[in-house]
A and B are shown apart, each in its own frame.
Chain A
Amino acid sequence: MVDKAGVVYDLGYKPYEGQRLGRSGAIKAMLKDGLRRTFGIRRKARRKIYPWGLVVLAFLPAIVFVGLAFALSSFAPDAESPFGGHAQYISLVGTVIILFVASAAPNLLIPDREEGVLSVYSSRPMTAWDYIWGRVGALALVASAFFLLPNLLMYVGFAALDEAGLAAALIDNLDDLLKVLGTMVAYVIGYGAPALLISTYAKRVGPAAGIYLAVVFISPGFAEMFRTLDFPGSRFGTLIAVLQHPEVIRNWVFDESQGSVPMSAVGFEPWVSILFIALVGAGTMYLMARRYRLEL
């Protein structure tokens, strides 16, 4: 039988006398690890398929839209873009963010707990809060990139087609970019926080992702049911539509119609959705701190 335990070679031991980056170095290392983990970098090939597939899904339409707009502009310079603007594109990247955080949040949190890696963090210059910020930061960074970069591509691409010239168009349309940034915060927290919350307590990655997707996509159905019920306070039940709070904010920011969104239909103003997202975000951080303080 082959001895797989290996052989010990005494090549000596060198004490480390170089620079130590301390707590900030630890958090930076966590952020970098989080990015690698979410994209499957330095992992087996099958871990890369899903996240990189979502990258293609997020960027490809933007590239196609801008490319087709270039093509159309050559023979119909005054034609309106048939693909809509940022508000419409945000609907698409919103779905991509949901699909992304459904996988990324459990992968960031659950293996550390279930494989015992938290004990390594507990012997490094960091606190439970440092760990939480490291993981939440990585998720927020990547989700923001999913949201922002395709919109940035469209912003610059359409500005390049503008008759006023690139620079003038970029400045003229700056408010679009600010709206995208504001909406991005709502989408990243609104969709990311529930995924983190579920992953804080779930024991396995697959079920955590499944529960999250079920919560997000089924909750509007329940909200719709509450909208049609007629008992005191039933309108508050519409607020469980996790999927639609960021959409309410997007519609409000881009002056779009709220359509048949349940919470708007029962008279809730957009600030209620902002408050809901803020509370879910703060509650998630609180519960994560409680959970991780026991192990870090």
Chain B
Amino acid sequence: MSAAAISANNLGHAYGDVIALHHLDLEVPPGRIGLVGANGAGKTTLIKILLGILEPTVGAVNVLGTDPADDLITVRSRIGYMPEGECLPKDQTAADFVAYAAELAGVPPNESRQRASDILTMVGLHEERFRYLGDFSTGMKQRAMLAQAIVHDPEMVFLDEPTAGLDPSGREEMLDLIGRLGGFGINVLVSSHVLPDIEQTCDWVVMLDGGQVLRNGPLSGLTETGVVELEVVDGAELVAAELRRMGAEVDEAGQTLTITSSPDDPFLAARDALAATGTALRKLGARSTTLEDIFLGEAPSDGR
């Protein structure tokens, strides 16, 4: 059995002549996974294949070690899903619907009602649980949608654009909830085109563009640049000269130096150069980049 939470092998899907996913190869570990990409990048198509709603045109996927095409029921027994659009019946109360969602996952009726109550409390809808879903605000609906996705304690939950339509405070609270899911032992796949949301909640990122994988790796590995920045009080040119003598490549901008490469650890090189020149340090740190920078730097510029 594969240890990967999700894997894809030469996965492709086309809607008629339109290719949505193009020979994807993926291996994603358990944890909080961000699936990022512009609208139309293939995120929702990938999620629908993982759910077994769509069948791959070519290739195969595995979710928690099982191919949905081979054993749909097993895969669906272990997952939850919060779709991008609404999924709530207007004429039911939150408590009734979330309990029903648990029953649909095989949780016996009595336990379902108890779990619905607990989960609605956890997502901040305790007071509103007996209100009809049709009367809910956008923020409350998003919370109820998250509640139905996790009420049956799935091993993995797919969240498709979970912060869509939320105001800033609602967005922060939703991201906080998503961040906590990992602590509950639930693997999370968050699909979003809002890259800061992914940076805030995930520890692994799959970047899609035009149906292809642009990047796939740990978030820290993607955002670390290996570049060190230091700002000195005075004498930046002396420090720069010393660093160059040590074999480092350095850019200068006023009293700020950027070590873009170094034969040894750039932090140690900076320390030695400062000591050798007797220069006072104001600031030292690694320069990190954002997912947005990476995406804009690597995505084709044709607007796909």
Q: Which residues of A contact B (CB under 8 A)?
A: 4-16, 18-23, 25-26, 28-30, 32-33, 42-44, 47, 111-112, 115-127, 295-296
Residue of B whose beta carbon sits closest to that of A33: B100
In the complex, per-residue mask of B39-67: 1 if CB is within 8 Å of any chain A CB, else 0 = 00000000000011100000000000000
Residue of B whose beta carbon sits closest to that of A15: B153
Is B105 close to A, CB under 8 A? Answer: yes
Contact in complex: A19, B132 (CB < 8 Å): no
Q: Which of B86, B127, B183 contacts A115 (CB 8 A)?
A: B86
Contact in complex: B105, A26 (CB < 8 Å): yes
Question: Which 5 A-B residue pairs are closest in the complex by CB-CB distance?
Answer: A123-B81, A29-B103, A16-B153, A5-B139, A20-B106
Bound complex: CA of A39 vs CA of B96, how far in Å? 15
B:104-120 near A, CB below 8 Å: 104-109, 111, 115, 118
Q: Which of A25, A44, A120 contacts B81 (CB 8 A)?
A: A120
Residue of B whose beta carbon sits closest to that of A18: B111
Contact in complex: B137, A4 (CB < 8 Å): yes
A8-B123, A13-B122 are known; give 14 further A-B pairs, CB within 8 A: A6-B143, A8-B177, A10-B122, A13-B183, A15-B184, A18-B107, A20-B77, A29-B103, A117-B88, A119-B87, A120-B104, A120-B148, A122-B52, A123-B149
The interface centre, meaning the residue of B83, B85, B87, B154 with most chain A CB atoms within 10 A of its CB, is B87
A residues within 8 A CB of B260?
none
Is B152 close to A, CB under 8 A? Answer: yes
Given contacts A116-B87, A296-B53, contact A13 B184 (CB under 8 A): yes
Q: Which residues of B contact A (CB under 8 A)?
A: 51-53, 72-74, 76-77, 79-81, 83, 85-93, 96, 100-101, 103-109, 111, 115, 118, 121-128, 132, 137, 139-140, 143, 148-149, 152-154, 158, 167, 169-170, 173, 176-177, 180, 183-185
Bound complex: CA of A123 vs CA of B152, how far in Å? 11
Residue of B whose beta carbon sits closest to that of A41: B96
Bound complex: CA of A6 vs CA of B121, how far in Å? 10
Bound complex: CA of A123 vs CA of B146, how far in Å? 13
In whole Å, how far is B90's beta carbon from the nearest beta carbon of chain A? 6
Question: What are 22 A-B contacts defined by CB distance under 8 Å?
Answer: A5-B167, A8-B122, A8-B124, A10-B122, A11-B118, A15-B185, A16-B152, A16-B153, A23-B106, A25-B104, A29-B109, A43-B92, A115-B87, A115-B89, A115-B90, A116-B85, A116-B87, A119-B85, A120-B81, A123-B51, A124-B76, A125-B73
Residue of B whose beta carbon sits closest to that of A111: B89
Q: Which of A4, A116, A124 contacts B83 (CB 8 A)?
A: A116
In whole Å, how far is B101's beta carbon from the nearest beta carbon of chain A? 6
Bound complex: CA of A6 vs CA of B18, how far in Å? 42
In whole Å, how far is A38's beta carbon from the nearest beta carbon of chain B? 12
Contact in complex: B176, A5 (CB < 8 Å): no
A residues within 8 A CB of B80?
123
Bound complex: CA of A118 vs CA of B81, how far in Å? 11
Bound complex: CA of A6 vs CA of B184, how far in Å? 22
Q: Which of A22, A44, A118 contacts B73 (CB 8 A)?
A: A22
Contact in complex: B108, A19 (CB < 8 Å): yes
A residues within 8 A CB of B103?
25-26, 28-29, 32
Q: Which of B90, B111, B121, B140 contacts A5 (CB 8 A)?
A: B140
Contact in complex: B101, A120 (CB < 8 Å): yes
The interface centre, meaning the residue of B105, B111, B148 with most chain A CB atoms within 10 A of its CB, is B105
Bound complex: CA of A7 vs CA of B125, how far in Å? 8
In whole Å, how far is B229's beta carbon from the nearest beta carbon of chain A? 37
In whole Å, how far is B117's beta carbon from the nearest beta carbon of chain A? 11
Bound complex: CA of A51 vs CA of B82, how far in Å? 33
Residue of B whose beta carbon sits closest to that of A296: B53
Contact in complex: A42, B76 (CB < 8 Å): no
Bound complex: CA of A115 vs CA of B91, how far in Å? 10
A residues within 8 A CB of B125?
6
Contact in complex: B124, A9 (CB < 8 Å): yes
Contact in complex: B73, A23 (CB < 8 Å): yes
B residues within 8 A CB of A125?
73-74, 76-77, 105-106
B residues within 8 A CB of A29?
100, 103-104, 109
B residues within 8 A CB of A117?
87-89
Contact in complex: B118, A122 (CB < 8 Å): no
Given contacts A6-B143, A20-B77, A116-B83, contact A47 B91 (CB under 8 A): yes
Contact in complex: B148, A9 (CB < 8 Å): no
B residues within 8 A CB of A124?
76, 101, 104-105
Bound complex: CA of A23 vs CA of B73, how far in Å? 8
A residues within 8 A CB of B143?
5-6
Residue of B whose beta carbon sits closest to that of A4: B137
Bound complex: CA of A25 vs CA of B110, how far in Å? 13
In whole Å, how far is A36's beta carbon from the nearest beta carbon of chain B? 9
Residue of B whose beta carbon sits closest to that of A123: B81
Contact in complex: B106, A26 (CB < 8 Å): yes
In whole Å, how far is A187's beta carbon from the nearest beta carbon of chain B? 28
Contact in complex: A119, B124 (CB < 8 Å): no
The interface centre, meaning the residue of B77, B109, B118, B184 with most chain A CB atoms within 10 A of its CB, is B77
